[in-house]
Amino acid sequence: MISVLSLFGLLAACGDDASVDGSCASDLDCNRGFICLNGSCGQSACDGLGDCDTGQICIAATTGDSYCSGLECDPTLGTGCVVGEVCADGLCIPGGVADPCEGVTCMGTDVCVDGTCQPVGPGCTDDSQCAQGETCNMATSQCEPAGTPPVSSAACDVCEAASECPEGWSCSTIATGKACLPPCTSNNDCQTGWSCQTVDPAAGTMACAPAGYKCQGCVTAGCPAGQTCNTINGQCYAPQATCGTCQYDWECGATAACVKTSDGPRVCMERCSGGAACAAGTTCQMDQDDAMEVCKGACEAAGLPCDGQCQGTTPFCKNEVCVQCMDDTHCSDGGTCDANGFCTGCGGEQPYYWDGECVQCLEDSHCAAGTICNQQTKACGAEDDVCGQCADPYPACASVGGEFYCVQCTKDEDCGLGGTCNTATYSCEGGTVTPTNACETDADCDPGLTDYDLACDTGSGYCYDKNGGCDGVTAFCKGGGECLDLLSALTGAGGGGGGGIPGLPGMPGGGMTLPGLCECSIPFMDPVCGDATCLPLGQILGTGGGAGSGNYCFSLGL
């Protein structure tokens, strides 16, 4: 039984795009502590779970009162949280704030892993305890199909140097930042959906990397039983059956790969890396095109003709299969068209592979002295280029009032899985995670591109600005209050890049990013504001009532 939660101070994360008192179709359209009542968000008091409807939980506010709120996750039903958050008693909170398996009871023999109930095979200590065709994974004490490439929990771990990764691994820059990647000499050494890539051309270092060069979504969180991870977009799908037509390895599931047959089409074949046995009628062979050992012989007649339907990223028809290229002229500068009809390899002035393209640089160290790597174009440029310095968690660049700022997004692709970009405020809404790891001390709070004076709120695991500033990305509001972004404060949530933004002394934080204001309560010296003062928004903006209402932190001394 889930008890009343005393987490309300953590609940309303700054920048939450849910409605407090607006229209709704379900409880999750409302802020925490509110539920959908006849199409509008409202509050319903509770003393325990029994006072709330199915799909709701009872949570406590800082005032001591408790209210029904929508159930955000239920590991027993396989509904989890987005990457970077864990499920704690029905609520998604930043990873590390609480034990993700605390209070989770799984059915049958399922076990809780990172907050989600997952089926497991029989425990083992050696291969003799596993069924025929299976081996014992000593790291997990679980039986798994023979030849399954090892999946280390360290793969995709965030790092700054190789010393933070397992011995022999590399700390390499990919699309989501620096990550620990396992070494390899060919694709045969990598798990399905990953490929062996040159991550340091100068040193000749090779490592297994996810197909989309992104450590996000199911690449790090995994998929429910019976599904496979699309390592390009980070979402889970049902896998193709053996001999089913395919384009990418991930489509075939963890124990198979997408291989070209002698008849032309690419189909899913079981892998036999490490000497695993193949089914009757098939033999384990090294596929020369993909450099992987697979069981061949059963799928040679599989496949479908192109029928003139090739388009998009695979516009050419080759051997009855839609492909990316027919020759090197169809590939970007530095790329070559391989035997399977796909562009591979980088060189010359664009030696680095990035999100499907060959680029000049991935980080500043790849550029000459006095220049930096523009994170928008992946090209070397001048050090005073503001937009060139924009990177996670502010990867995009926008012009506001004639000045350029690093922002969370300018288009949907800048946001996490399922997220959309609000181009009025340049912020991501829905399906995206702004907090990273929970902080434990002030030293964990890095202001990055901002000018915030950060400290750690150990109760919530969020970093906050000592002067009451916020942006819902790097700096949050102490106690879980609302964060009002600068554009909404000055333009009434309109405008985006249109029109000038008046100068506003006293606005905390900022730097190369757009700052915001933390909600507070009168009296003026609200502890949320630290050295700043709690004032009505209209007074701050000099409008009396003006653009919006409520009280927010403002530094009178600046």
What is the per-residue pLDDT across 247-263, written as a single tens digit (0 to 9) for each?
788 888 888 998 877 65
> What is the arithmetic mean of pLDDT over 477-487?
74
Quote the pLDDT of residue 182: 92
Ordered by start, the domain boundaries in the chain are 8-70, 75-118, 239-296, 445-554
Per DSSP bridges, beta strands 111-113 and 91-94 are unpaired
Q: Which of 498, 489, 496 is nearest to 541 (CA)?
A: 489
> What is the arithmetic mean of pLDDT over 48-56?
78
Quote the pLDDT of residue 183: 92
CA distance 526 to 464: 14
Task: Name which of 6-15, 73-82, 237-246, 461-470 the model is least confident about.
Answer: 6-15
Task: Name which of 169-178, 256-265, 372-381, 498-507 the model is least confident about.
Answer: 498-507
Q: In which element (H, E) is residue 537 found?
A: helix 537-541
Quote the pLDDT of residue 3: 35
> What is the arithmetic mean of pLDDT over 111-139?
63
CA atoms within 13 A on the CB side of 109: 6
Would you say the pTM of this structure is higher than 0.85?
Answer: no
Q: Confidence class of residue 14 from pLDDT cuts 50, 70 and 90?
A: very low
CB atoms within 10 A of CB 69: 27
Per residue, the 3-state secondary structure of 84-105, as one string, reads CEEEECCEEEECCCCCCCCCCC
| Residue 468 DSSP symbol | S
| Residue 126 DSSP symbol | S
Q: Confidence class of residue 98 from pLDDT cuts 50, 70 and 90?
A: very low
How would DSSP label each residue in 251-305? GG-TTEEEEE-TTS-EEEEEB-GGGPPPPTT-EEEEETTTTEEEEESS-TT----
Q: Provide the sign of the torsion angle of the four alpha carbons 44, 49, 53, 56, taken in this order.
A: positive
Mean confidence (pLDDT) of the chain: 71
**398 against 527, higher pLDDT:** 398
CA distance 294 to 273: 7
Return the SS3 of 485.
Answer: strand
Task: Name which of 385-399, 489-503, 524-538 the model is least confident about.
Answer: 489-503
Q: Is 50 exceeded by the pLDDT of residue 10? A: no
**245 against 121, higher pLDDT:** 245
Q: Confidence class of residue 309 from pLDDT cuts 50, 70 and 90?
A: low
Quote the pLDDT of residue 496: 36
Per residue, the 3-state secondary structure of 319-351, as one string, reads CCEEECCCCHHHCCCCCEECCCCCEECCECCEC
Q: Is 80 exceeded by the pLDDT of residue 46? A: yes
Q: Is 70 exceeded by the pLDDT of residue 453? A: yes
**121 against 390, higher pLDDT:** 390
**262 against 545, higher pLDDT:** 262
Q: 238: burial class by Cβ within 10 Å (0-12, 13-18, 19+)?
A: exposed
